Chain A
């Protein structure tokens, strides 16, 4: 396991805590740190919000934020955010980003803490 997982752990949790306090997109339903052990030192974060604006494309998109003093890291913060409805559509279409998250061998469900990704995604798909 690379050194980055330990190094980033608290920062990722803090970031998700901050996101929990942002209410304009509805409740945070899921936050997953996936592909944690990557050599680039990227932080891959996937989040689902109750009412996140849906761009209407039915596919997920990842935005890459560079390192900053507020969130220092070697690589980029790769942030993928969606809503339950877009998530359902993405799942039906076999979205590649969603697949890479589901198949990531090294992931941690940050919120709800200790949750099981497969179970949560199945419940959201109903």
Chain B
């Protein structure tokens, strides 16, 4: 099998990143609409790891694409998402990043479950636990509609999490568009 020329592979990678960022943007908009309509439920301190994981992957892929373009390679020896978050204006002194917050919430929920008298799940955390397995795949193709797993309830803090990462998503999208890397 002949591998595509490096530039073609790079272009495909960047196109996929552009698509992923678009989907993250669409997902954010959907969730934001729900928040604006007051449909996000009554427990905003929980979050939906599956949706967040998807958006995080989209951001990471876009960053890799950006590094791929700007440096001519994808650095494998560090996490580009972490690199940018740590160095960007988004990380204010003394303030935890959204990744820190997600980790804290996950540990919190795990610890709560440790305190359960039986194997039962809290009535008000069942959904979050069920969705706690990160979505590690990209199940969408171009032209697919982004459909939330359920409407109306159960996506409490995803809005806050996405809101924090939103400037980064938008900046990457604009950068990719400005470079005319993805003629769509």
Q: Which residues of A contact B (CB under 8 A)?
A: 15, 18-19, 22, 24-25, 47, 52-57, 59, 61, 63-66, 68-71, 76-77, 79, 81
Please give, as numbers and ranges, the residues of chain A lying within 8 Å of B130 by CB-CB distance. none
Which of B11-19, B116-124, B147-155 lines the interface with chain A? B116-124
Interface size class of B (residues with CB under 8 A): 20 to 34
Which residue of chain A has its CB nearest to the CB of B120? A68
Residue of A nearest to B100 (CB): A56
Are B120 and A65 interface neighbours, CB within 8 A? yes
Task: Determine whether the beta carbon of B45 is less than 8 Å from that of A54.
Answer: no
Chain A, interface SS category: loop
Q: From the candidates A22, A69, A77, name the one contacting B114 in the complex (CB within 8 A).
A: A22
Q: Which of A18, A56, A79 contacts B112 (CB 8 A)?
A: A79
Bitwise, B89-131 to A at CB < 8 A (1) or not (0) is 0000000100001001101101110111111111111000000
A69 touches B118 (CB 8 A): yes
User: Residues of B contacting A64 with CB < 8 Å?
Assistant: 122-124
Known: A64-B123, A64-B124. A55 touches B117 (CB 8 A): no
CA distance in complex: A18, B114 (Å): 11
Instruction: Tell me if B73 counts as interface (CB < 8 A to partner A).
Output: no
Kindly state the separation between the CA atoms of A63 and B104 in the bound complex, as whole angstroms: 17
> Would you call B133 an interface residue if the criterion is a C-beta within 8 Å of the partner chain's C-beta atoms?
no
Tell me, yes or no, whether B43 is within 8 Å of chain A by CB: yes
Which A-B residue pairs are the 10 nearest by beta carbons?
A: A68-B118, A71-B117, A70-B118, A63-B122, A53-B107, A55-B108, A53-B108, A57-B45, A64-B123, A68-B120
Partner of B115, one of A19, A55, A57, A66: A19
Please determine whether A79 and B104 come into contact, CB atoms closer than 8 angstroms. Answer: no
Q: Are B45 and A59 in contact (CB under 8 A)?
A: yes
Query: What is the chain A residue whose CB lies nearest that of B106?
Result: A53
Q: How far is the CB of A91 from chain B (nearest CB, A)?
A: 17
Residues on B with C-beta less than 8 A from A77 are 117
28 A-B contact pairs sorted by A residue (CB < 8 Å): A18-B117, A22-B115, A24-B111, A47-B115, A53-B104, A53-B110, A54-B104, A55-B45, A55-B101, A55-B105, A56-B105, A59-B45, A61-B45, A63-B122, A65-B121, A65-B122, A65-B123, A66-B120, A68-B120, A69-B118, A70-B117, A71-B117, A76-B123, A77-B117, A79-B112, A79-B115, A81-B111, A81-B112
Tell me the bound Cα distance from A18 to B116 in angstroms: 10
Smallest CB–CB gap between B24 and chain A, Å?
A: 23
**Which residue of chain B has its CB nearest to the CB of A45?**
B115
Q: Is A56 a contact of B111 with CB atoms below 8 Å?
A: no
Q: How far is the CB of A31 from chain B (nearest CB, A)?
A: 11
Name B101's contact: one of A47, A56, A66, A68 (CB within 8 Å): A56
